[in-house]
Structure 1
Amino acid sequence: MAIVNATDQTFQSEVASGTVLVDFWAPWCGPCRMIAPVLEELDKEIGDKVKIVKVNVDENPDTASQYGVMSIPTLILFKDGQPVDKIIGYQPKEALLSHLNKHL
C-alpha cells in the first residue's frame, strides 16, 4: 500500500477504518525528513496491515490542532477512527514496529 497524503478535508475518511499510522510533519522539519524513509520501509514491510497517512501541519492546521499536535514529527496510531497511541519525535524503525505490534 502506498503512503497517502491527507488534508483537513480528507483526514476523517482516511482514518475511519482499520489500523492507520498518521505522520504529522512539515517540509522544514529535520527530524520529519529523517523519519520519512523509515515510514517508507514500514510501508513496504507491513503496508498490508497498517495504512500510513501523512498530514502536513502547515497546510492542515485544523487536524493538527484537533489532535493536540504541538511538536513534529508526531505519529498517532488510529484504530477504526480512534487514536490509540501517540509517538512524539524521531524513532528508529524497531521502536516504531514495537509500538505498532502492540495494536496489531
Structure 2
Amino acid sequence: MKQIKSNEEYAASTERGRVMVEFYANWCPDCKRIEPYFDEWEEKYASDFSMVRANRDELPDLGEKLEILGIPTFIAYENGQEVARLFSRDAKSKEQVESFFDQAYEK
C-alpha cells in the first residue's frame, strides 16, 4: 500500500478518483490490530477505490489541518472532496472497517 510522506503527496494522491486514506501511528495498538488486513482490503476493494496510508506522527501539520484527533482514522475521498470519515472509536475491528468501506461511497 502506498505510504504518503508529505503534504504535497497527500494532496496529489487524493485529488482524483476514489481514494481511501488511513491515518495511523506506529505506537497505536488498534492500528496494529487491523494492519494485517490491508493486503486483503486492497485486493477486495481495488475496483471501488485505491488505498493509501499516512503516519499521523510524521505529518503533524496535515493531521492538525484535517482534525485527525484519534487513530486509526479513515477518510474517503472522491475527486479531492472528503465524502466519509471513520473515527478511531469505530475503527477497532476488521468488521467495523469493512462496513465503513462498503458504505463510504453509497451517498
Q: Normalized against structure 2, the TM-score is what?
A: 0.84
Residue 40 (structure 2) aligns with: 41
Q: Which runs of 5+ in 1 are unaligned?
A: none
Structure 1 residue ranges (4+ consecutive) displaced by more than 4 angstroms after TM superposition: none
2:92 and 2:19 mapped to 1: Cα distance? 17
State how far apart, in whole Å, the 2-side matches of 1:78 and 1:91 are: 21
What is the alpha-carbon root mean square deviation over aligned residues?
A: 1.6
Contiguous gaps of at least 5 residues in structure 2: none
Q: Work out the percentage of aligned pairs sharing the same amino acid.
A: 26
> Aligned residues, how many?
102
Following the alignment from structure 2 to structure 1, what is the Cα–Cα distance between the partners of residues 17 and 93?
24
Q: Which structure has more helix as a fraction of its residues? A: 2
Distance 1:92 1:47 in 2: 20
Aligned partner of 2:100 in structure 1 is 99
With 54-63 and 36-45 compared, the bigger mean Cα shift is at 36-45
